[in-house]
Every structure is written in structure tokens, then in C-alpha cells.
Structure 1
Amino acid sequence: MASPAPFSRYEFMIAWRYLRARRAEGGVSVMTWISLIGITLGVMALIATLAVRAGFRAEFVDTILGANAHSTVYYAPSQIYNELTEETYVTPGRIEDYDALAARIAQIPGVTRAVPAVRAQVMARQGDAAGLGDVHGIALDALRGMAGIADPQSAQGNLDDFDQGVAIGIGMARDLGLGVGDRLQLVAPDGAKTPFGTTPRVESFEVVYIFSAGRYDVDQTRIYMPLAAAQSFFNREGQADEIGVFVADPERIDDWTAPLLQAAGERGQIWTWRDASGSFLAALDMEDDVMFLILSILVLIASMNITSGLIMLVKNKGRDIGILRTMGLTEGSVLRVFFLCGAFTGVIGTIAGVVLGVALSLNVDHIMAALNALTGGNAWQPEVRGIYHLTADLRAWDIFRAAALSLVLSFIVTIFPARRAARMNPVEALRYE
């Protein structure tokens, strides 16, 4: 007579019967319940953490790309030797043929826009309040193309009036007490040149637009000014400091480095959004790996409790094992019965953890709002994190690897107690019965 196939129906039936038995009948122990709850919480925490980390990275990258060029082309400073004074002067890398350079860059396949810009630092003042301002002088059409800036739902004022004044971040407007229609005083250190030296240039501009880019540092310091006004204010007549480049796929921005350098010429330099935020993104990736490792250890600890529960179950079911062996069950069948007991615990705990982890990730905004309300807004500090909101990005791969890790660990730790049950001598098991 042929032997039954492995993991036959009767093996599942016996294993499930043992798990459903009452504690007084030698059934599921307290350790098994602890391991089930531990696996559930471990998988839930692992999925929620991975989702939050992915959401934080996605939100961080979106705010970078929404308020900045994907890549910047600029000229390296040049050195000029004066034979009369025998001194070497370093001149900034201004771009005089910026329209022609922008046109050449725009012809590169994959480049969607090339925007000449003037960059400078100023002191922004309103009454007695003052702060540092990072001025970007660009054209109106270029400003419209920045999704993080040209957002009518979060902005105040009319972007069509940009040529008549300046646009500032909501953080600067709050700190300086400014609103649409107020005047902002800008102080530039490189102003008019006189026989007594260079004097600071001071000028007032009307605030026509207040934006919220979603990044604390941008909203706190960023000032957008029309290109012509910036050239006049910062002594850049007929010149630009850089060309902002926007591409179709910002995640592959490095693919455009070589074509951009070729278009810029021998003095050309490239600075991408990855160069500006590469260290922070690398730190996020490292934190993701560390968090996955730490939470994997927690899942392993919870899975190890299955071993304790199964050892107690094997001890309580010694008589049953002896009877089953005398009835013809092989060692392999007994091993599979108790392996299934532990596997059921791991599978049920994993399923429950996945459900709770997904539910927690989908409601992380409400949870953070409640924590902020309880802590007075200290649960999430945008000046530290850089972004205003904590979001979750559920990815199928993260859910799969969390569930797979839990199942694999649960299956592995059941092997030892299951082998112990299979090798039990039926004569010894029934001797004192």
C-alpha cells in the first residue's frame, strides 16, 4: 500500500486539532499566544516603518524637484593676471550668452526646459524684522513651471503680477509680517561702486505672491524676482549666473551630465539635485537598511517564542505521539504535524500583522495629527525634518519582504521541536500510561 503524500489532509487536521485544544487538554500554551501576538506586532511595525520611510523620502524628493531645477549649468570662475600690478584676480563665472546657451541645452533630447537665472544672497527687512533671503531671478514662464511654487491652492496673490514685484515663501512672510501688497526691503552687499568703495544697495519691492513649497528651508528664505529686475539689482546687466535645467525623468538626472557638459563648453560645470541632497538621501537609505535589520530582529525574537510553545506542546502530547506512531504514522508525518502547528502560528500572525500594518500606514496622517494635538505640535517639527507632513507610501515590495521574512523565520524555528517530536520513542512515550 502506497504511503500518503507529505502534508496530507489528516496531518493538517491533527495539527489544527492540537491548536484548538484547550489549555487543560494540553493544547495551545501561553507562549504560543505570546509568539502569535509578537509576530503580529513585529510585522505591523515593519510594514508601517517601511511605508513611512518610503513616504518621507518620496515627499522629500518631491519638494526638492518642485522648487528647484533638476540640474544647474554654470561657469567656473576664471583667473585674470594683471601685468602692471602683477596680481591675479578671480572673476565670477558669469554667463553672458545665456540665451544661446539655454537654447542649445533645450535641444538636448529629454530636456524639457532650460531657464537662465540670477542667484544672490540678500538681507530681507520689514520694519524691525530682518532675515536672510536667497534670491532667484528668473522669468515668469519658468516660475510657472515649478509645481511646488505655482500652486494656487496653497499660495496667496496672483502669479500673473510677478513682473511687478517679488514672490516670497510663506515662512518669510510670517516671520517678517508681510502680506500680498506689502513692500519688502532688500539689502544687497554688492551695490553701487563709489570712489570710497562699494556701498550696499537697498531697494523695496512689492510682494505680489506668497507660496508654500512644502519645504521649511525654502519657504523660510526663498525670494523669486523677475530676471530683468534681478540683473539690474545685482549688477548683472546682460549676464546670468546659471542655467536651470529640467528633464523628463529627474530620477535619471545623471544620464544628462555628459550632454550638458558638451553643450556648456570647456568652462561648464554641472550641479544636480542629487549633488545638493545626495548625502541626505544616502543617510535615508542607510536608515532604511538599519531599521529593517532592527525590526527583523524583533520579528525573529517573536518567532523564537514559537519554539518554546512547541516544546511545551510536544511534552504535553507525548502520549498522543506514542499512539500515533503505533498506529502507523511515520517520523516524517509526526514532524510535519508539529511543523504545521508552528507554521499555523506564523501564518496567522503574519496575516494579522500585514492587515494591521497596512491599516496603520493608511492612517498615519490622522495618527500624527492626534499626536501633534496631544504634544502641542512637538511630535513633528518641520524645521528639523524639512517637510511639513509625514506621509506613508505603501509599496508591494515592502509588504512582500516583511511577510516573507516573518514566514521564513517562523518556518525555520519550528523545525527543531518538530524533529524532537518525530524522534520520540513510542515505547518510552507509553511506558507510564
Structure 2
Amino acid sequence: MTRPTTRRTAPFAPFEWMIAWRYLRAKRAEGGVSVMTWISLVGITLAVFALIATLAVRSGFRAEFVDTILGANAHVTVYTAGVRDAGTGIVDRSIPEYAEMAERVRAVEGVERVAPLVKGQVMATANQRNAGVEVHGIAPEDLAGIPRIADPETAQGALEDFGTADGIAIGSGIARELQLELGDQLRLISPDGVKTAFGTSPRVKAYDIVYIFTAGRYDIDRTRVYMPFGEAQLYFNRDAAADELEVMVDDPEAVDTIVPRILQASGENTYAWTWMDASGSFLRALEIEDNVMFVILSVLVLIAAMNIVSGLIMLVKNKGRDIGILRTMGLTEGSVLRVFFICGAFTGLIGTVAGVILGCLFAIYIDPIFSLVNYLSGGGVWDPAVRGIYALPAKLQAADVLSAVALSLGLSFIVTIFPARRAARMNPVEALRYE
């Protein structure tokens, strides 16, 4: 006589989903979803939302910070060590042969643009107000190649007017502080002015404002003034020389690889200062802060996921009679484990989906949300003088969302296994003894 063969149930069979769904939608009086399950659902939702929102703000802040640096500053600054005057002891770091040096650097592979600069710090005065500014003497065609400065959407005036007689470009922060508009005049006062028999007298000259730019960085808009290159040479007594070369490269992230070639082309006694040298410490601090925040928020997701354990333990306790009946009817331990795993995993899945939706909406509509917070708090929540940029940025990236989803689902699935195994190993005799 042949023994009848038993068919093994396929994992996650339809009846297992049906039982799990019945337990999830059962009322509390019937021993269904407990308060702890709802708490874990809300906790996972908020934790995933906070994780995605933090990652989006982190990515947006770094992208905005780097973009304002690369869009309004040199990727590489080339300058000379200088020559010390034997009589006065003053080191002259000007570059007399700046045109020839610029041509050699411009021929380096990977260099996009080279612009000679004359720089100096002066006092700006208008409408009985004063401000310290930094003047950049630059050719009109070179100024037109700076993305954050030559932006018609954020600027006022015509860039074509820059380069005319006594025409300069100023940042919107200077215009706001000194109450200036297009067509007004701004007086610049330099302590290193005209040399006379009685010493050096300050140089004072008024310039017409023909262009007002907004670079997106408070420290740039508040301090920077652009002057035609030839006029800057006269104003700062450079005598047909430049102070440095402003170099833009094709790949700013790989600027360190091109610096040796730039120095070789620029000649002896020259040095280079890259944007990473100037801002590298800040970017590294951002990276460390990002890693720490990710770890902290991951702990929050873990705490929220641990609430699933409490909810499932209560569900297993309330469904002890049902487990015993199902086991006597032939349900295997594996089927019971999968039923309660589905219950816990479904809670984590719903909480993760809700958190992703909230986090993405926050990143997309961060401007109106932040405006509302600023309005309700009476203003002054975001100080550009401290943070450098004018608004809280957010950049939603697929990698950040996927990392948050993977972390939440992974933790939810892992912690669900333990109470599900407890339900599967429950002795049906013990479960039905007192029924």
C-alpha cells in the first residue's frame, strides 16, 4: 500500500495573504491591529520623512554652496611669489606679462577660460552710508563669462554697458545697504592713491552704476564690485600689470589633476590656489555632518521599527487560539511565520511609502513651507549673513530616497522575523488548552 504524498505549500500562498489581511483589518475588540501597530506605523512614517527631508536639504545645501562658488569665483587662482623691493621692503606680486601668461595657461587642456584680474579693497560711500568692498578689475568679455554674475534673470541693467566710461557693476547686497539703484553714483575711496611729494593721498573717484548682480551668496553680493580692467589698473596704480589670473576649468571637481599643468604653463615662481583649497574644510565638515545625521536618523528609523515587534507580540498573544486551530488544521510553522511576517512587513511598507510621499512633498514644496514657517515665527528664521545663501535649498535625489527606503524596509523586515518565529513555534496544544 502506497503512502499518500503531501504537497508542500508554496511560500506566500494566497491563503497566507488572506489570513494576514484579515488580521490587519480586524477590529481591536476582535484581537486585531493594536494601538502599538498604529504607533509603529506613524513612527516609521515620520522617521522616513525626516530622513528624506534631511538628505534632500543636505544635498541641496551642498549643491547650492558649490554652485555659487563655481559660478562666481575662480576655479584656480594663479599668482606669483613676488619680488621684494630692496629699498622699501615691500613685496610686489603683480604680473607684468599677464597677457602672455594668460595665453599659455589658456592653451592647457581642460582650461575653459582665463581672465587677468586687478584686485583691491576700498571704501564705498553713497547716501551718507559707507561699506567696505572688494574691487575686481576685469575685462567686459571675461565678466560676461561668469555664470552667476552674467545672469539676466537675477541681474538689473545691461551687461553691455559695463566697460563704458566710469561704469561699474555692484552686488545687490551693496546696492541694498547703500540704497543705490541703476544710474546712481558710487564713490570709491582707496588709501593707496596718488603719490605726491608730501606722501600718498587717498584716491577718491565716483563711478556710475550700470549693472547690479545677484550671485546667490550673501558674502559676494555684499562685498563685490566689478570695474573695467583698464580703469582698475589706473585706479590701483598697477602700471599695465595684473594681480592674478582667474582660471575656469571644464571639470571643477577634478581641479587638482590640472593644477600641475597650469603651473607648468604659467612659469616659474608662480603658485595656484583652487576653490577646494578655499572651501575644502567646509565641504569636509558638511560631509562629516551628513554622515552623523544619517546615523542619528537611522537610529530613529530603528526605534520606530522596533514598535512593530511590540505590536506583533500583542497580535500573536490575541491570536493564540487562532494559531492553535490553524496548526491542528495542518498549517505548517512556515505558513504561520509568513502570515505574521506579512502583518509586520505590511506595517513597515505602508509607513515607508507614507514617509517617502511626505519627504518628497517637503523637498518639492520647501519654499512655500519655509515661507509659512518664517511668517508664523515673525520672520528672521533664515539669516543670509550667517548662512551665506538666501534660502533653505533642497535637492531630491533618487539615491537618497532609495537609501531611506532600503534602510526602513530592511529594518522593518528584520525585526518582524522574531515575533513571527515566536508565533510559528507556538504549541497548538498549549494554545487551545484553556479555550
> Given the two structures, how large is their TM-score scaled by the length of structure 2?
0.95
Aligned residue among 62, 72, 83 for 1:57: 62
Q: Mapping of 1:25-424 within 5 angstroms?
A: 25-79=30-84, 89-163=89-163, 164=165, 165-424=167-426
Separation in 2, partners of 1:312, 1:251: 54
Q: CA deviation at 1:127?
A: 4.1
Contact preservation (8 Å) 2:341, 2:420: yes
Contact preservation (8 Å) 2:127, 2:179: no
Deviates more, 1:242-251 or 1:190-199: 190-199
Separation in 2, partners of 1:209, 1:170: 10
Q: CA deviation at 1:274?
A: 1.6
State the match for 2:3 in structure 1. none
Separation in 2, partners of 1:168, 1:209: 6
Separation in 1, partners of 2:54, 2:9: 44
What residue ranges of structure 2 are gaps of 5+ in the alignment? 1-5
Separation in 1, partners of 2:405, 2:319: 30
Contact preservation (8 Å) 2:48, 2:355: yes
| Cα deviations by residue, 1:73-105 (Å, 9 ceiling, x for unpaired) | 1112334556xxxxx935132111110111111
3-state DSSP of counterpart to 1:414: helix
Amino acid paired to 1:19 = L
Q: Call closer, same or farther: CA 1:127–1:357 in 2, change over 3 Å.
A: closer
Separation in 2, partners of 1:185, 1:380: 32
Q: CA deviation at 1:348?
A: 1.0
Separation in 1, partners of 2:387, 2:35: 42
Aligned residue among 12, 33, 40 for 2:17: 12
Q: CA deviation at 1:293?
A: 1.5
What residue ranges of structure 1 are gaps of 5+ in the alignment? 83-87
3-state DSSP of counterpart to 1:189: strand
Separation in 2, partners of 1:100, 1:51: 46
Contact preservation (8 Å) 2:85, 2:92: no
State the match for 1:85 in structure 2. none
Separation in 2, partners of 1:179, 1:6: 73
Amino acid paired to 2:73 = N
> Given the two structures, how large is their TM-score scaled by the length of structure 1?
0.95
| Cα deviations by residue, 1:335-388 (Å, 9 ceiling, x for unpaired) | 221111110100111111111211111110111122222233312221111111
3-state DSSP of counterpart to 2:112: strand
Separation in 2, partners of 1:318, 1:136: 79
Amino acid paired to 2:75 = H
State the match for 1:22 in structure 2. 27
Q: CA deviation at 1:31?
A: 0.3
Deviates more, 1:392-401 or 1:176-185: 176-185
1:430 aligns with 2:432: yes
Amino acid paired to 2:25 = R
Separation in 2, partners of 1:13, 1:367: 41
Separation in 2, partners of 1:9, 1:269: 71
Q: Percent identity, please.
A: 64
Contact preservation (8 Å) 1:368, 1:379: no
Separation in 1, partners of 2:154, 2:430: 77
Separation in 2, partners of 1:51, 1:385: 17
3-state DSSP of counterpart to 2:316: helix
Separation in 2, partners of 1:148, 1:423: 66
3-state DSSP of counterpart to 1:200: strand
Q: CA deviation at 1:155?
A: 1.8
Contact preservation (8 Å) 1:120, 1:135: yes
Q: CA deviation at 1:261?
A: 1.2
Amino acid paired to 1:132 = G
RMSD between aligned residues: 1.5
| Cα deviations by residue, 1:111-140 (Å, 9 ceiling, x for unpaired) | 111000011111111142111111100000
| Cα deviations by residue, 1:123-160 (Å, 9 ceiling, x for unpaired) | 11114211111110000001111111112222222221
Contact preservation (8 Å) 1:118, 1:230: yes
Separation in 1, partners of 2:296, 2:54: 11
Q: CA deviation at 1:192?
A: 2.3
3-state DSSP of counterpart to 1:244: strand
Amino acid paired to 2:116 = P
Amino acid paired to 2:78 = V
Separation in 2, partners of 1:368, 1:318: 50
Separation in 2, partners of 1:286, 1:377: 30
Q: CA deviation at 1:168?
A: 0.6
